């Protein structure tokens, strides 16, 4: 007896703070025979991974180098609210939100992996730049300074001794679907339709960098937050997690983990939807 041909696999990268759960559910529903591998990558490594073919597409944080030796296409999905991470006893906790000007006189940490596009850095610079956002959060807890990050990263690095407040005029953090321009395959087109909220029978149209995905309902937001809390920090950076695939008999197999990512918790569920529309 000869083995059947291996099922096609699509590798989707995602960066810290981005929860692909809502789109994975739709992929499983529409493409049960195509294995989907989720790969956690540092934001600064996404462009190289796409150009080298390590992954097929990515849910990435903008800006990203799209004009390199192998141009990248991108569709902006939504933009995250910026917040300042502070100790719970900090004076700023007395308000619900603040402006960048309110950080004058504060030591504002600026980690090397910061993706916010500042025209001018706020507050006072620290003596050294932390290497990662996680390192910067530790310094905030130690009373060294404060940190401005997208809200999802503040949640991801939550500590009992820290909290955060919205910074109304800080740069937002756009999240986009990114893929190599020269490999807009059928599977990439399918993923574009999924993240943009198109139904199975709707026209694909042309992939562009315009047009937001539909807004999520309150129920969908609640489900996605629950999934984010369950999945946060469970997949080591650079590790792949197999979330769906063929059973080898022409049907969909059960989600399972690959490598050191641990047991996968993705299950067949309701339809996913895009994030809060922007641009």
Any idea what the CATH number is for the domain that residue 60 is in? 3.40.190.10
The 82-87 sheet, strands edge to edge: 97-98, 162-167, 82-87, 146-150, 107-109, 124-125
pLDDT recorded at residue 198: 82
Look at the pTM and tell me if it is higher than 0.75: no
pLDDT recorded at residue 69: 83
pLDDT at 209 > cutoff 50:
no
Beta partners for residue 174, in sequence order: 79
pLDDT at 255 > cutoff 80:
no
pLDDT recorded at residue 249: 39
Query: Band of the pLDDT at 7, cuts 50, 70, 90?
Result: low
Q: Which domain holds residue 106?
A: 82-167
Compute the distance between CA of residue 266 and CA of residue 203 in angstroms, rounded to an integer: 28
Tell whether 272 is covered by a domain: no
Do 207 and 87 sit in the same domain of this protein? no
pLDDT recorded at residue 68: 78
Do 93 and 148 sit in the same domain of this protein? yes
Tell whether 270 is covered by a domain: no
Contact, 139 vs 159, CB < 8 A? no
Q: What is the pLDDT of residues 166-208, one digit of tens each?
A: 999 999 999 999 999 998 899 999 999 999 988 766 545 444 4
Number of domains making up the chain: 2
């Amino acid at each position: 007896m000869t083995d059947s041909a291996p099922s096609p696999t699509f590798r989707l990268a995602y960066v810290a703070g981005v929860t692909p759960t809502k789109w994975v559910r739709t992929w499983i529903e529409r493409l049960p025979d195509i294995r989907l591998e989720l790969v956690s990558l540092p934001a600064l490594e996404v462009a190289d991974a796409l150009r080298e073919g390590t992954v097929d597409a990515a849910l990435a944080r903008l800006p990203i180098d799209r004009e390199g030796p192998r141009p990248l296409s991108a569709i902006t999905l939504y933009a995250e609210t910026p917040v300042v991470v502070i100790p719970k006893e900090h004076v700023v906790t007395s308000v619900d939100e603040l402006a960048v000007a309110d950080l004058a006189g504060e030591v504002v940490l600026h980690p090397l992996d910061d993706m916010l596009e500042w025209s001018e850095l706020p507050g006072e610079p620290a003596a050294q730049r932390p290497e990662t956002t996680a390192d910067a959060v530790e310094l905030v807890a130690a009373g060294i300074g404060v940190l401005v990050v997208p809200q999802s990263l503040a949640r991801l690095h939550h500590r009992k001794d820290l909290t955060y407040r919205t910074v109304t005029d800080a740069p937002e953090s756009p999240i986009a679907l990114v893929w190599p321009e020269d490999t807009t395959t059928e599977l990439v087109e399918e993923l574009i339709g999924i993240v943009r909220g198109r139904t199975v029978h709707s026209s694909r149209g042309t992939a562009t960098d315009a047009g937001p995905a539909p807004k999520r309902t309150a129920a969908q937001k609640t489900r996605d937050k629950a999934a984010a809390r369950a999945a946060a920090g469970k997949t080591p950076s650079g590790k792949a997690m197999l979330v769906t695939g063929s059973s080898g008999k022409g049907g969909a197999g059960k989600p399972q983990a690959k490598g050191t990512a641990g047991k996968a918790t993705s299950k067949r569920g309701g339809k996913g939807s895009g994030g809060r529309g922007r641009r």
